[in-house]
Amino acid sequence: MGTAAGPLRDVHASLAMEKQQYLVGEPLALTFTARNTGRRPRIELSESDPYGQCGAYRIPVTPDEPKLEPKTGPPCAPLFQIQDIQCLRGPLTVMKDVEATQRILLNRLHDFARPGTYTVKVIRYLSYSRTSARKPSPASEITASFTFTLALPSSPDDIKQSFTAYRTELSSATYMRRREAAIIIASLPSPFLEPDLLRMLSTPGLTSEAIRGLGKLNTAHARQALYNLLEQNSSSTESLLALEALQNMGDASYAPRLVSLMSQNQKLEEKGRLLVAAAHLDADGTKSFVQSFLDSPDPEMRQSGAKALAATEQSTAIPTLVFLLSDTSLRVRSSAAQGLVSLTRLTPFNDGLFWHGEDPGTAAPYWAAWMRDNPQLPVHPIRECRP
């Protein structure tokens, strides 16, 4: 149980975990509970996505995950990778004398794939939201430490029971409960959860999590379901996530189907995304389509061609990308420069940046020299770098 400290006198908060022994593959859920013990009928605590960069939780784990580098090629550590930081904020409402709870899936934050003993130290920061505070908000925190063991299951069936409650909660009348259950199921997908993930795909508010889980599961039914979503609407936010998942699932049979969708789409940007995914799945089968984009007088099409060329992850793409550093369009030159970094895990700049804001074409001598020194044009994709 956690302990709270600080000036939020009208909030009683606690942290808890269900048990001390788990099986690898089971959900490791941390529960935060807050009770309004003051005079106000409702209190709103500051809240953000607990899995985002601005979340109210800090959860280090011992032993920490090893920072693994790829077995071959340049290391990832010196390479600065730009991350999209989004801080979605919204208050956590606590009614008087009513408990508000929040479940955090530790498996989403850390890799618990190996058996052993772990210690989790949790800090949950507390403050009033702007709409609840009448003056500068005081701050508080609650801390807790939990030690538990993980053992290997003797069969996949051993972990089924631990998902029973979450599968039921997918039909909860409360959106927060549905979403928490969806996050848990999508983060730890097993074949027996496929029907639940497919149902989530058509459930408003749960589609993004379903895409995440189906992408990890990577079964024939999962791939077909994601393609069907793309076919219905290739421009929605969910479809973009589905396309990325399908691209990473590695089934080359979907490349011609994605190319077919290109002919049905009028927007160049969406055509380009489809081409990138298809080229990644089947570089040889899409070569002529990529070349037609590269030969286009339209800079937007040439830019998509450069991205698709890099997505093939083939050494034959490198000389063309170096050539594109002299393209008349800055957009094309920028995509070519980023493609070269994504294929080699190398950058002309000592601080690991893709570029310094100057024209990417100025890096052409660096890459020309690299090709002379490395005639085999070794490819070491940046995707091998763990996030």
* Burial grade of 110 (CB within 10 A; 0-12, 13-18, 19 or more): middle
More confident residue, 187 or 387: 187
Alpha helices in 110-189 (DSSP H): 164-169, 175-187
Q: How far is CA 129 from CA 8, 154, 156, 199, in A?
A: 12, 47, 43, 35
- Give the span between the Cα atoms of 43 and 262, in whole angstroms: 51
For the chain, domains (ranges, CATH) are: 1-152 (2.60.40)
Those residues with Cβ within 8 angstroms of residue 354's Cβ, 6 or more apart along the chain or in another chain: 80, 82, 337, 338, 341, 347
Token reading at 20: 């001390």
Q: State pTM to two decimals.
A: 0.88
Whether the pLDDT of residue 370 is over 90: the answer is yes
Work out the end-to-end distance of the chain between its first and last CA atoms, rounded to an integer number of angstroms: 31
Q: What is the DSSP letter of 89?
A: B
Report the C-alpha gap between 354 and 360 in whole angstroms.
9
Calpha distance 278→243 (Å, rounded): 10
Contacts of 319 (CB under 8 A, 6+ apart): 371, 377
Binned at pLDDT 50, 70 and 90, residue 124 comes out as very high
- Span of 233-237, 264-268, 292-296, 305-309 with lowest mean pLDDT: 233-237
